[in-house]
């Protein structure tokens, strides 16, 4: 079953992608939730026309994301957390705290666009990935210190 995505769906595709999914997943979840529409011949024609019209806007958005990525390259964050004397953090550092630290630096980035690979449960230096655009990703170094 082929569908056209109306929104970004994690591990499936981005908005306006034409993807193949199993029929049950499409009929029972994606279409009823409003994440996708069935890729009929008329829907494909409308989709192609919309893609032509949006190409310029998408390129502008990508260039803006590249500009923000260049500014983020040199940023090093310091995040304070309560920790024991051995350096183990009470709780963990998550993407919400990184988003707040970036906000203090002057960057407005949604927390859902920040990915931390491993759980941060000790004091030290780590790296997070920020997805600014479907083609633009930046690695940000951050250090967790004891308060």
pLDDT, tens digit, 9 for 90 and up, residues 113-124: 999 988 888 999
Look at residues 31, 62, 93 and tell me which one is the last residue of a structural domain: 62
Chain-centre distance of CA 11, in angstroms? Answer: 11
Q: What is the pLDDT of residue 75?
A: 86
Residue 44, pLDDT above cutoff 90: yes
Q: What is the pLDDT of residue 41?
A: 93
- CATH number of domain containing 12: 3.40.5.10
Report d(CA 1, CA 22) in Å as an integer. 6
The reply to whether 117 and 134 lie within a common domain is yes
The reply to whether 94 and 120 lie within a common domain is yes
Look at residues 28, 62, 96 and tell me which one is the last residue of a structural domain: 62
The reply to whether 77 and 142 lie within a common domain is yes
Q: Which has the higher per-residue pLDDT, 57 or 40?
A: 40
What confidence tens digit (pLDDT) does each residue in 18-32 have? 999 999 999 999 999
> How many alpha carbons fall within 13 Å on the CB side of residue 79?
30
At residue 57 the predicted structure's pLDDT band, cuts being 50, 70 and 90, is confident
Report d(CA 94, CA 76) in Å as an integer. 16
Mark out the alpha helices in 3-139 (DSSP H runs).
23-25, 31-33, 41-72, 95-105
Average pLDDT over residues 127-146: 90
Q: What is the pLDDT of residue 105?
A: 87
The reply to whether 105 and 127 lie within a common domain is yes
The reply to whether 79 and 56 lie within a common domain is no
The reply to whether 90 and 133 lie within a common domain is yes
Average pLDDT for the chain: 90
The reply to whether 78 and 40 lie within a common domain is no
- CATH number of domain containing 123: 3.10.430.100
**Number of domains composing the chain:** 2
> How many alpha carbons fall within 13 Å on the CB side of residue 45?
2
The reply to whether 43 and 99 lie within a common domain is no
| Structural contact between residues 15 and 8, judged by C-beta atoms closer than 8 angstroms | yes
The percent of residues in the chain predicted with pLDDT above 90, rounded, is: 46
Residue recorded with tokens 């939730």? 33
What confidence tens digit (pLDDT) does each residue in 68-100 have? 889 888 888 999 889 888 889 988 888 899 999
Residue 45, pLDDT above cutoff 90: yes
Q: What is the pLDDT of residue 134?
A: 82
Q: Which domain holds residue 13?
A: 2-62
The reply to whether 78 and 135 lie within a common domain is yes
The reply to whether 26 and 90 lie within a common domain is no
């Amino acid at each position: 079953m082929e569908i056209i995505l109306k929104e970004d769906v994690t591990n499936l595709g981005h908005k306006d992608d034409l993807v193949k999914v199993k029929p049950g997943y499409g009929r029972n979840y994606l279409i009823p939730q409003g994440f996708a529409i069935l890729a009929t011949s008329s829907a494909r024609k409308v989709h192609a026309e919309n893609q032509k019209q949006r190409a310029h806007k998408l390129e502008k958005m990508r260039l803006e994301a590249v500009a923000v990525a260049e500014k983020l390259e040199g940023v090093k964050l310091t995040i304070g957390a309560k920790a024991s004397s051995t350096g183990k953090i009470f709780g963990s550092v998550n993407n919400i705290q990184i988003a707040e630290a970036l906000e203090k630096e002057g960057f407005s980035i949604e927390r859902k666009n920040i990915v931390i690979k491993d759980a941060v449960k000790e004091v030290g230096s780590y790296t997070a990935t920020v997805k600014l655009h479907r083609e633009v990703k930046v690695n940000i170094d951050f250090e967790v210190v004891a308060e």
